[in-house]
Structure 1
């Protein structure tokens, strides 16, 4: 079953075209710049490079094979139209998740806080959150790409892990 790996907001992912996210680039894919960057039109406006874990690259390859003739990665039922929010919500529910789409981003943040030693600035960069403190932002010039890549691989491994079984001894 496909699981949410990249932390791109749903609205931006829905409108992403194959040419905007090169699926075969091992360094990662670029976010949809024409749709407001990784934050969507209502959030960020900068283009960001998103490190894609191996399973996300596989999903992009699978999605390209299902292309409806438009260039949308996640095409809806009508030609040239992306999957709707309702369709995404329905898919999430049908696959056994009780969260809404944005809940995946929340789950990621909670996981980084409670189960990893990831620096706050790395998890915030992975979520494409901006630094609010202007002085700090002026000096923070790194995109933390390699740290974000390692974090995304760890997130993928966490999502792909089999549930542990507890056995009663005795």
Structure 2
């Protein structure tokens, strides 16, 4: 049994290694086979699911929002998969391993389980691209073993648009919470960009949200412009005395108000609806009380419409049309008649 050549292996180290293998042989085991098993184990560690997952993540970072710094891409795997399967070589991973790992959350946390399964599939494809002999059908087979999820997704409760004016009228205190809720209703944006709004993002009657703050927007996605109605500008003016470190809606300690702050305000009022639901209120109003085209109405909510090719040629964000609709929505919310809106030019 060769131990290695000089000078890679010195005399003192060679004596130590030789003694170790003599003891293995004295114990009735084959030292050559024992060493080969250790080498295989070392190679297996290099292709563990944890290591291949990290490599796959690095390869995909450029496609992820903020280069994946928020950790949302990895979190379903880090929490629910890697603690159990992280040390398993990807070449040994099969559908039974995946089924047993995701079974506890398959019906109770369906969305998280789906994300974990999809990302496992991406990791397996990455392993195959590295030349590893993996079962690319393992995730599909695991889905077949797990069966259809019994989980029924629930939509976020939304307030009927007919009830929005009375709720808006109740937000009469000039506090960050009341003012943030008002601006949320008026603009139809998501909670995160609303809570993180900064004074320098506002120029006249346009609020420009950085692209990285928009949900689902990755890479070099352009910023999103939000038209501000006269009422929205008034709310912003009322909020300016609260500004701290550039943020329009700071909390009482440091940073900005939390999403939970807005939700709890509605809970204390005994309302089932939640802040995010005002986007549904606005979208339903657009459908039922205006003749706004689909792409304009969807853009009001910051949704991406059409394919990338179509968007590349249609370089407009419908700002002018959205400004008119925002003004009408503000008029309705603050007590206007809410009559059917006709936009000039058939838009």
Normalising by structure 1, we get a TM-score of 0.80
2:262 paired with 1:84: no
Q: Which has the higher contact order (CA 8 A, sep 6+)?
A: 1
2:249 is the alignment partner of 1:74? yes
Structure 2: tracts of 5 or more residues without a match: 1-170, 172-178, 339-347
CA distance in 1, matches of 2:288, 2:304: 22
SS in 2 for 1:30: strand
Alignment of 1:50 with 2:50, yes or no, is no
C-alpha separation in 1, matches of 2:266 and 2:299: 25
SS of structure 2 residue aligned to 1:49? strand
| Higher share of residues assigned helix | 2
Provide Cα deviations, 1:78-106, integer angstroms capped at 9, x if missing partner: 12x11011111123345675411110101
Q: CA RMSD in A?
A: 2.3
Q: 1:36 Cα deviation (Å)? A: 1.6
Give the alignment of 1:110-129 within 5 angstroms. 110-129=284-303
Over 3 Å off, 4+ runs: 92-98
Partner of 2:335: 161
CA pair 72-142 structure 1, distance change in 2 beyond 3 A? same
Matched, 1:29 2:184: no
Give the aligned length.
154
Residues 1:66 and 1:102: Cα distance change in structure 2 (over 3 Å) = same
Q: Deviations over 1:109-162 (max 9, x none)?
A: 111111111111111111111124234323221121110000100111121126
Name the CA distance, whole Å, in 2 between partners of 1:129 and 1:104.
Answer: 15
Give the match's secondary structure for 1:141.
Answer: coil
Structure 1 gaps, min length 5 = 165-170
Select the residue among 272, 278, 286 that pairs with 1:104: 278
- Greater Rg by CA: 2
Residue 130 (structure 1) aligns with: 304
Distance 1:95 1:150 in 2: 32
1:1-42: CA deviation from partner (whole Å, max 9, x where unpaired): 3531012210111112111223xx03x1212x1x724x2xx4
